[in-house]
Structure 1
C-alpha cells in the first residue's frame, strides 16, 4: 500500500512538473520528458544515490539551455516567429534574461524590426537609453495561451518596460523596480483618473492582482522618467507598423499623448501603469 502511494506521488509530481513547464515555457514539458530518457544511463553511470538527482537535473538544464539557444529559434521560423535579441542590440535588450530562457521573447519578424528601429531611434536621441522588453510570445503555434496575458498568443504583441531615473544620482537607469518587469506601478496622482480603483469597484479583482503580489521594496530607488517616456511613446505611435498601444489612462493624460493608436485595454486585463503594450 505504501509502495503504491509512493509510486502515485512520483507520477503525480512528474505530471505537475510537466504541466508547469509547458504552461510557462511552452517547450519545457517536452524537454523534461526527453531528458527522462537519459535517467537509466545516469542510474548506471552515477553510483552514488545522493548525486543521481543532481545529475538528472543537470542533464535537463543542459538539454533545455542548448535547445533554447540553438534549436528552438530554427524550429520557430516555419511558424513565423523569431526571437528578440538575447543581449543588448541597437539599444534593445530583455529586462530580465529569464524572459528569454523561458522562450517568451518570440515575435513576428515585422514586430522585431519595428521595436529595433524604435529602440535605435531612442538610442540616437538619448545614447544612455536602453529599451527593455518584457513578454512577447511563445515560439510555436498561434492561439497558444501565454499566462497571465490575454492576447500574447500570435507573435504580434510585445510588452516594454517603463523608463526610469536612478533616484540617487538622477541618471537614466537601464533597469526597473520590478523583479519580473510587472507589478510595480506608477500610481495616479491626486486629480488623475484612477482606473485601477474603478475596475476594482466594478468587481475586476485581477486588474490589480500583480501589484499585490510583486515585491515593492525597490520602487523607492527609481523615479518615473516622464520626459523620455513621452519621447518613447511618441516614437512608438509614430512607427507605421505599430497599430495599437496600451498604457494606463492617467499616464496618457500626464504625458500629453493624443495618438489614436493608444487605447484603453479594459478592466478584464491587468494594469498598464507598469509597462507598455505594443502590437502590430
Structure 2
C-alpha cells in the first residue's frame, strides 16, 4: 500500500470514528504514533472521553446517567459519548422518568441517542441531535414475565419496528429503512401500550417540550396530543422509539 493510500485509509477511519463517537477520530490518529496501536487507541479514547465528561459543562452539556433508575442511558451510547443534553433537557428527562415511575411503579426510562458533549456535530444516522436539546427514548416492552425494565427488543434499541398502517411509499433519497430481514431476529417482546400512552401524555403536558415524533398509527392508538407529530416519509421510522425535543 502506498503512503498516500495508507494516509487516506486512516483519515477515512478517523472521520468515521469522529462522526460516530466524537473522540474516536482523534484517538485513532494519535494511536498511529504508538507501536501497540490498539492498546493506545483504547487508552486514548477513554482518556479523551473522560476529559470531555468533565469539560462538557463548558459547552452547556451534561451526561445522562449510565446506570441507576428511574432514568438511565443505554450503555452502548454512553460508551460512544452520545448521551449529552442541555441542563434544561436533563431536567425534563428527570421529571418525566420520575412521573413515569409514579404512574407505573418500577418503570425505568431508558434513553438512547441524545447528543455529543460539544455543539455543532449531528449524530449519524440522525439528521439532527446536534444541539443537546433532543433525545430518543426507548419504548417500554413486556415479555412472558411481564414488564421488562430497561430492555429493548433489538441490541441497539432501534430498528425493531411496531408495524402499522402508513401512507409512506418507497422513495429516494430516504432514511426510512424497513429492514425487513432483521425483524425476525429481535427479542420476542410486546409493546407496553399503557406505558406508551402515559409517556406521550406526560410529554404533551410539559410546556418545555416542543415536539414529539412517533409514527401516526401509534399516536392514533395511544391518544396523542398536538405536540406529537409525524417526522415525514423521508426521515427514519419512529415506531421503534420516541423522539422528543425542547
When the two structures are superposed, what TM-score results if normalisation uses the length of structure 2? 0.92
Change (3 A) 1:255 1:204: farther
Where in structure 1 are there 5+ consecutive unaligned residues?
A: 43-54, 189-193
Q: Does 1:66 align with 2:47?
A: yes
Aligned-partner Cα distance in 2 for 1:207–1:80: 30
Aligned-partner Cα distance in 2 for 1:213–1:23: 26
- Work out which of the residue numbers 44, 55, 77 in structure 1 matches 2:57: 77
Change (3 A) 1:174 1:272: same
Aligned-partner Cα distance in 2 for 1:215–1:57: 34
Aligned-partner Cα distance in 2 for 1:86–1:138: 15
Query: How big is the shift at 1:124?
Result: 2.3
Q: Which has the larger share of helix? A: 1
In the TM superposition, what are the counterparts of 1:143-154 in structure 2 within 5 Å? 144-154=121-131
Q: Give the equivalent residue in structure 2 for 1:123.
A: 101
Q: Which has the larger radius of gyration?
A: 1
Q: Give the equivalent residue in structure 2 for 1:36.
A: 32
Query: How big is the shift at 1:210?
Result: 5.4
Kindly report structure 1 stretches of 4+ aligned residues shifted beyond 6 Å.
none
Aligned-residue RMSD, C-alpha? 1.9
Residue deviations 1:92-150 (CA, integer Å, cap 9, x gap): 1123x1201111111111001110111111112223211111110111123x2221111
Q: Does 1:243 align with 2:217?
A: no
Residue deviations 1:35-79 (CA, integer Å, cap 9, x gap): 334x1xx4xxxxxxxxxxxx32112112212322x2102222221
Aligned-partner Cα distance in 2 for 1:210–1:88: 33
Query: How big is the shift at 1:205?
Result: 6.1
Residues 177, 216 of structure 1: 8 Å contact kept? no
Q: Does 1:181 align with 2:177?
A: no
Q: Give the equivalent residue in structure 1 for 2:71.
A: 92
Aligned residues: 246
Q: Give the equivalent residue in structure 2 for 1:272.
A: 238
When the two structures are superposed, what TM-score results if normalisation uses the length of structure 1? 0.81
Query: How big is the shift at 1:245?
Result: 0.5
